[in-house]
Amino acid sequence: MSKGIIYVMSTIVPGLIKIGKTGTDNFEGRMYSLEHNGYSNVVGLQRQFAIEVEDYDEKEKLLDDIFSKSRVPGTELFALDIDLVIQLLSSFEGNQVYPETETKEQTFDEATAKRHIKEDWALVPDGTYYLKRKIKRNENKAVEASMIVKEGRYIIPKGTVISPTEAERLADNIRSVRHSDAVKDFVTQEDVTFMAPSAASDFVIGGPSNGWVNWKNQDDDPIDIYRRKRTG
């Protein structure tokens, strides 16, 4: 039986991941190449999980079949929840290669917990929501934006003006999107999609924030009301 590594990587594009395979001896070299050079015109790849398994060719084909509807044609890119994939891969028999500091059981439990959090994100009804907030580091000037929620995705529309300043504690992945081709002169050049309301808020504000409070519906209620309805 052939033994090799199946891996999953995040990309600069929220919700877009890469699933691939490589020989055990080639893993570090493959990761270095993808993380430094990108893949299929997509950059910002970062390894998130890897496992060494028997019959890795067959297992990769199985994953391709399971997630075929989410695949970007002609590539190894998928529009998927990365924690769903990690949850599945960490349930395989095999030796976890990455992360090195966690066991498979810990990885599985962490991915499961993250998926429970994402269940909250799906509670926000499809529609348009609004943000208005003064930014102290930008002379207390206000930033205003709208966000479209569609099927659990949080979309900042093309033409949105985002804060020109950034906090030091802004997450690297959000900072990367703000400095990508999707933004020019602090104006979005295309729709920018996020998988969480706080990520969308961080992007607009330029710093860590609570999207459940910042985004409001037409009645000026924070979107946290939809989460509270579930919990009673």
pLDDT along the chain (232 residues), means of 10: 88 88 93 94 92 87 87 90 87 89 78 67 88 89 94 91 94 89 95 89 94 95 82 48
Together in a domain, 54 and 142: no
Q: Which of 90, 121, 152 is the last residue of a domain?
A: 121
- Return d(Cα 197, Cα 218) in angstroms, integer: 16
Together in a domain, 107 and 180: no
Which residue range is the domain that position 193 belongs to? 127-231
User: Rg for the chain (alpha carbons), in Å?
Assistant: 19
What is the value of pTM for the model shown? 0.56
CB 142 within 8 A of CB 136: no
Q: Which of 121, 146, 163 is the last residue of a domain?
A: 121
Together in a domain, 33 and 114: yes
Domain count within the chain: 2
- Return d(Cα 227, Cα 232) in angstroms, integer: 9
Together in a domain, 12 and 114: yes
Together in a domain, 112 and 159: no
Q: What is the pLDDT of residue 160?
A: 98
Q: Which of 97, 121, 145 is the last residue of a domain?
A: 121
Together in a domain, 10 and 101: yes
- Return d(Cα 181, Cα 198) in angstroms, integer: 22
CB 62 within 8 A of CB 70: no
Together in a domain, 11 and 26: yes
Together in a domain, 12 and 103: yes
Together in a domain, 117 and 23: yes
